[in-house]
Chain A
């Protein structure tokens, strides 16, 4: 694999999006250098649960990206080592009351029309799928396409499989440009790295990288907490969440929102999400967020109330105002491409994002229609 100090493309960010961009760009024949100021998977990737979801997305461009990514993840699962813990375990969305079940049914019908597999589960069938679910829930839907990976390992193995040159602990301090404002490379404390293309895959910090290039991308952090329990036998088999999660994901509110998202892992611990709040990069523990997560999870799975939580951690989802990632060329800086702003879905959307970036770099066939993701939709704000 060719890699030198003057690669074809520089990817800024060694999270799962950067890894996927590096992987597909390299497969398209480009030499790639990946730079990150921190370690591999040090940002949002390392703070996530590794969800590959179609169930929480309404029909539209993001769902298309997710469906394409779901296929690509299945391919990657055969290529990458088993250590990435790819698990096609399916998602189970439950409604606590009849009205919620009706709304969920209408939502699932629309998803089905867009290509999502969704199977209605009546109230009395829920505990066949999840024996420890609380009694009295109104019903739910099973989404067999939902899957999970261990996100940090997935990113690290994708990066390794890409053959890209990976330089961690190296912060990009400037984007080098030529006389017409076109990208020529980047500068780091270790010196200049020259390349005709720079991919901004800096996730939640993508706005900063864009600024270095004189571009504008309004990425904001949206904090989430995850609770991790002691290792357990398989108490929770699917990814199980309450129907109002979908509404929270789509909401733009800055206030704290929580909805119970519960899932087991091959290693044993149960992971509990998901809270959302816009509080900047504040990692301080929010007792209220933890209380709501715990209460929500214990309401779904009463058996968990006695289980001990070993740790919790905060992560910052890269949030763009219209909840769609920015994928594609910057409208003002030739040679700069953005691949960030995937909010909480970056693991799931990574492969199609990487494939799309690779197609844009090589004039290949894009895996999805690139137009809804074009960063120029924020150009008016920059002007």
Chain B
């Protein structure tokens, strides 16, 4: 550990940041709202995020294409800047470990892409996981051609002010994101020959109540739909791009009608000329940091895995909270509510105290969350992939592009070698073992494995990915020595950073994989994206375990009829007793050196424990945090 900030550090030397109450992972709407709310209740908060600026994928970029809610988020961001939240930008979290009761470590790598930076360990008493979601891809013949990009990636490129993926861009896949992407592309000057949606939109109509209580969602859809109409973009439902044509890059696509199970209807293929294809099939929660800790998951109706949380957003591992898409994809407003709810509940847990104002705030947040969740449920059901989609895969279609494993080889592993699940397919074919660790091909491989006709299929389990991002071996070696550590097998390692240059170049990714990993990780999701279902509200929290935990929040009386909505505007009028922090070594103290702020300015004062008996100054009637626009 270097003694002074000016001493040049060897790469991979790393440093620790100790003594936080709450570490929040992900600075999208859920994480940012959670961090601000927690700091407002007196917690010291570290907010780690891979990007340079808070916002996640949805609030990425600047004013050029301000999404709905942009002003509210800008206000939240401004509030965070003056709060006691330490925003650790460009921190790529690769693992979370539990060190003991109320003791967690968040392990991250710094640097623009987590490469070449330093390992950082942030210690906190509780963790809020708000890592967002990534785009789901279903492969098809030709999907590896240059010019095929993720729909979320195309959106991200636009928000970052980057170039359009092409001049004539077909938008395809499934989910409400497609309309938004097509609308953005058209507004940015691209021609959109077609939006190709595998589901029908009629599915929404089966959930009239969810729409009725979430009218803003209908307005959003109408807004995008209207924009597309004005630009004369045809929307083809119950259809899919089943092949991409071209030699060096995309020249055209074949769009085929689908039956109810998403099987291509023979003879209905139509060729559409284009020079790019933006494709995506909804979002998948990024939950690997939590599953590595043993958190329970649930299968959503559209086939993704989300974390099981109780009524206060706590996972099945006490002390680890989850908000936003990690608990089921539901869009930025739901994410915001869940982040705030989790933060308030965590503050109550850590302080052991709850007053009427906090109780009321929790109640209102829960009500709002439940209402938004009902809409997410409806959307999930409407955009669930049909089981027949694998029929559009030819045997020579690459399913895993990192390891170049074809659909034929996966089918062979299932038919001949006894694979019945994605993990065994991986072991037998290497599908999912490459750079992306199955993030791109996982869904496809699971579907192919489960599609085998042989009996003996094994229930799907969420992929285990203990490392959320690749970690240099030297960074692992630089982890703190644990208690009572024994010596390693080989004498003294010395400084791993001193290792000479390798000679082996970095593994080069294909264009698509790049975008899929970096661009399409739609942290925070798209506004209208909603593909999660949570029909059992409190899978375990409703019963004894939560109530019996000594430090758990007391049951909040939720029966009264305080006004609906208006969540996030309740300043706690009763002081929440500031959290007693055990660690005295705070960020900024020797041994706990902190990184410079991303914009180069002097870092804000690190969070300090509030003085006993004193809470954050309350501003009567003023908003605790800018509330997301309430429908």
Contacts and interface: CB of A to CB of B under 8 A. Distances in A.
A186 to B, nearest CB: 15
B493 interface: yes
B499 A298 contact: yes
Contacts of B456: 166-170
B466 A38 contact: no
Given A233-B504, A284-B98, A288-B485, A260 B490 contact: yes
B292 A284 contact: yes
Contact of B424 (A39, A166, A233): A39
Nearest to A38: B458
A305 B474 contact: yes
A292 B467 contact: no
Interface string A229-241: 1111101000000
Given A283-B294, A312-B467, A153 B428 contact: yes
Contacts of B488: 258-260, 292, 295-296, 299
Interface in A253-299: 255-260, 267, 269, 272, 283-285, 287-288, 290-299
Contacts of A228: 433
Contacts of B430: 267
A307 B134 CA distance: 25
Contacts, number: 212
B93 to A, nearest CB: 13
A96 interface: yes
Interface stretch (A154-162, A209-217, A323-331): A154-162
Nearest to B121: A287
B435 A313 contact: no
B499 A39 contact: no
A299 B493 contact: yes
B427 interface: yes
Given A42-B423, A285-B292, A302-B499, A169 B489 contact: no
A269 B493 CA distance: 22
A305 B420 contact: no
B414 to A, nearest CB: 10
Contacts of A313: 464, 466
B394 interface: no
A92 to B, nearest CB: 14
B417 to A, nearest CB: 4
A126 interface: no
A309 B458 contact: no
Given A46-B424, A152-B424, A260 B504 contact: no
Interface stretch (B163-171, B383-391, B476-484, B547-555): B476-484
B472 interface: yes
B424 A308 contact: no
A169 B458 contact: yes
Given A41-B427, A42-B458, A308-B473, 5 more contacts: A39-B424, A153-B427, A167-B456, A260-B490, A307-B473
Interface of B: 12, 95, 97-98, 105, 107, 115, 292-294, 403, 413, 416-421, 423-424, 427-428, 430, 433-435, 437, 455-458, 464-467, 470-474, 476-482, 485-486, 488-494, 496-504, 506-507
28 contacts: A39-B458, A40-B417, A40-B418, A41-B427, A42-B423, A42-B424, A152-B427, A160-B417, A167-B455, A169-B420, A169-B457, A170-B456, A227-B476, A256-B486, A260-B490, A285-B466, A287-B105, A288-B481, A290-B476, A294-B474, A296-B488, A298-B474, A302-B500, A305-B474, A305-B499, A308-B471, A309-B472, A311-B467
